[in-house]
Amino acid sequence: MPETPDLVVIREVLLRRVLGARIEAVEVLRPIVLRILEPAASAHDLLAGRTISDVLREGKFLTLALDDGGWVVLNFMLAGHLRLCAPGERRLARDYLVLQLDSAEELRYHDDKGMGKVYLTRDRSRVPAWAEMGPDVLDPGWTEAAFVQALRAYRGEIKGVLTNGRLVAGIGNAYADEILFRAGIYPFRKRTSLKPAEQVALYHAMRGVIDEAIVVLRERMGDDIHVKVRDFLQVHNKKGQPCPRCGQPIGEIKVAQRATNFCRRCQPGSLVRN
């Protein structure tokens, strides 16, 4: 799943490569991911002939603004991604949507799981989960005090709180693991058990992890917006590897098919279900 650091860099690449490009043609190869939120309209009606006037990131959504006021809103979910391709480049079996641009490039949506969604709309508030998004993780107005105050409304396990998008938008499974490791907090602790100092540490870990990852990805991804770079992360997907702090093997717990990685020594706790 692309998270904030990935999407920041993808947006920057798209601003360089497709901003101002005109969509010459649209090919819907697999319609299952497409959601047209305007009545009696087709993808061709809403996209062909339109110019990409801006590229925005909102939480885990990436949006293409069109010159007629329309939007292409992408929610990549688990395995979706975009590729910039030359028109003659071989298409892949799981390519779902192709936008042929007048810049002699194609912007293709690919999804190995078919779980992502591409919404076409003139009103982004119609997109599911859009209205429920909390402040963006990179919002400069999202201060330490505001974060700690907002946390009080939540009582569940802290990893779930970080990833549900209502407290803060843009954090997913991978970066939640990294944030909690940096803060030294066990992922399954109840929010209500966190001391004030731990809540402050969580805020600063969140800021630090996301900002530092963006720097790494700018260097490592280049213009390859389809590449997922996660090997530099400290604990996520590092089951059995030595903790970079204490050397103990990184642990893993799977809940509802989602893996959580952490260090049992640096993030002590126990999984208790009520």
Catalytic residues: 2-3, 60, 258
Pseudo-torsion of CA 73, 78, 84, 90, nearest 10°?
-130
Structure-token pair, residue 240: 């059995």
- At a CB cut-off of 8 Å and minimum separation 6, what does 160 contact? none
Calculate the dihedral angle through the C-alpha atoms of 142, 143, 147, 149, rounding to the nearest 10 degrees: -120
Candidates 172, 36, 47, 41; CA nearest to 101 is 47
Task: Return the DSSP state at 126.
Answer: G
| E strand or H helix that includes residue 193 | none
What are the CA-CA distances from residue 169 to residues 27, 107, 134, 137, 213 (Å)?
Answer: 31, 26, 5, 6, 16
